[in-house]
Amino acid sequence: MIGRLNHVAIAVPDLDAAIAQYAGTLGANVGAPQDEPDHGVTVVFIELPNTKIELLHPLGDNSPITGYLDKNPAGGIHHICYEVDDIMAARDKLLADGARVLGTGAPKIGAHGKPVLFLHPKDFNGCLIELEQV
């Protein structure tokens, strides 16, 4: 069901410092910050030859990233994203197999302009998983 790894998301307490680190220290191709109000985050994508890194920073007072950074003040890996061909078929199979889809279970449009869903980390070895339809 899952396809290639789309990205690894890292929550960061200081977005400008993280951008400078990836662009300067690591010499990576870093995109522009992009506000995603529906998800409560500002994202920056770092393009790698085989995948992407997504830097996440809180946007607004109700950002889900704020709680993560409260528990992990230095930041850290927040989630991994896998590609799927059909997000509704993937959701239905996961639900039938007992996995929990976060939120209402209806896909939202993600930072790439494609439908996404998140899966409960307690069902996947403590890892928050995002599925993105390609």
Please write the tens of the pLDDT for every residue from 50-66: 999 999 999 988 899 99
Pure H helices in 1-134? 15-20, 64-71, 87-96
User: What is the set of active-site residues?
Assistant: 130
- List, in order of start, the domains of the chain with CATH numbers: 5-133 (3.10.180.10)
Alpha carbon distance 17, 132 (integer Å): 28
Q: In the chain, what percentage of residues exceed pLDDT 90?
A: 97
Task: Decide which of 61 and 115 is more confident.
Answer: 115
Tokens of 90: 């993937």
